[in-house]
Structure 1
Amino acid sequence: MSASYRVAVQGFSAFEKATFESFFRLAARRTPAYEYVSEPGQADFVIADADQPEAVRAAQEQGRLARSVCIGARPVAGAAVQMPRPINLMLLLRTLDELVHQSRDTPDEPPVAAAVAAAAPALAEPVAAPPVIAAPPPRPPGVTDFRDSSTFSNSVLVEGDEKFDHILVVDDSDVALRFMQSRLRRFGFKVHLARSGEEALERLMERQFEFVFLDVMMEGMDGYQTCKRIKRMLLPPGRRAPVVVMLTSRTSAVDKIRGTLAGCDAYLTKPLVEDELVRVIGEHDAVFQRGFENTVASVATATRQGAEG
């Protein structure tokens, strides 16, 4: 049976937390395995937002600062490892693996304490004094620093981006609408609701939506008809067509072909699997891709390694 280590996350935006949670759920299938837990007191390792003092304080109060990987520009004395932004999940995974590997080389010490003691000289500056953080690589042209923001990470947005994308969910079921709203809000999106295809078309003329999550089976215009109308709409100047994601309990190849012919960009089946939702957002949302460098590739790698293990 492979060893499993518990990881908690302190600080960060709701968008980032949701991504960490989904990523570590996939990492639970690999070796060594990592299990996401909500409380730092239960964790073997803590991932803390170095730029949020309350997050670092929470890890310290729980006695987990010496077991923490702190991410951000603000130096944190006493942390096991400090990493710069932008967040690179594969680099974080390799860092945790190194801590675990070092703990196995020193079996007489408790696993986490040994990992921190052994890995600190190699992966971070000595903690006796505030660590010297190497300057991050130059930002690409147009990248904006949102360091003053307490709710969104640095190095995520570029000029012209909004902090939160607007998403439209279309379904004639109130239960389904609320379900999707709760899931998408966890990623920091602003979620708007429409109860028919006709209402969705009206809303799309009013503002820009990055995504439209569209149920197939609806009264009046069904999802296929609505998708066709969306893709053929003459939008006001400056607007771009949204990514249309079809939602349905139908899983046959014929239904997927119908969705493709209607012009949809992605097809998700009910009941919704959160990892698939993360994958779709990661494939189609540029802000997501910049904020979590190599995230989609990381998820694929973790899944492949789990399958091979």
Structure 2
Amino acid sequence: MNASSAESGPQQFVVELLGFNDGEKSLLASTFRLTGRRPHSPFSYAEDEAGRTDLYLVNADHAQAMAELRLRGPNLYCPAVLIGGDDGQPWPVVDRPIHWSRLFDTLDKVMLVALDRRASRKSESSDSSMARRRTDLPRLAPVAPARPVRRESVLVVDDSTTVRAFMRSRLTPFRFDVDYAANGETAIDMARAKSYTCIFLDVLMPGIDGYEVCKRLKSEPKTQATAVVMLSSKSSPLDKLRGNWSGCDAYLGKPVEENELLATIARFLPSARRVVNAMLGTEQP
């Protein structure tokens, strides 16, 4: 099925499935047919039947499928979502067994980001065309190369591989430059060597705890301007007060509530603000 923009109902996107067996494809196709009936969702999905692809859905446990994905070259405008294992690919991962609402929430988020990128590219192309029409010169004058878009840098500090994987899946769609550390000592060294816009910092870790890490970061001129967001399963008023004393900019309890995390991303990482506000339905008129 081709993606189509119906006059009513959700906008539909074509999904190319890689590495799934016939039974899994049949189940996914059946589920796609129900996505147009989801309340309050702007998007629906259909399996690729005509060679056009808006999004790749890939069995990450299938080596050949991952090789095929690399050949296809997913990008900001035609992204990918992985099901299962993660071998360090820069795309969001949905764990098995598949939780359907989580899968489609992830698909919606990556397509919202892709649409934002497509709109930006279309606007730039339109502006360029108008400029050419306004000139009578027989040839275009040389144009200086565009400056590369600066990606905001994020550091996630947590000794739990599960939490790091969760944060990777939530941050990847925004295309930040994300690094990871498993303890406070490493995090401090990384923050001294590289300028981060925001650091997501676990409180309870081997070695020095997150409170001490935050105090040190906020006491050094090179790192004191970096936003520090603490992540902790300890969320009593006293724990939050300790976070404030250490100088943190925000304190999120674990498990992290998704809308709260998105709002925090929008607060401290401006490049994601417009997309996050659209996700949360808080876009300013």
- TM-score, normalised by the number of residues in structure 1: 0.46
- Return the structure number with greater relative CO, CA threshold 8 A, min gap 6: 1
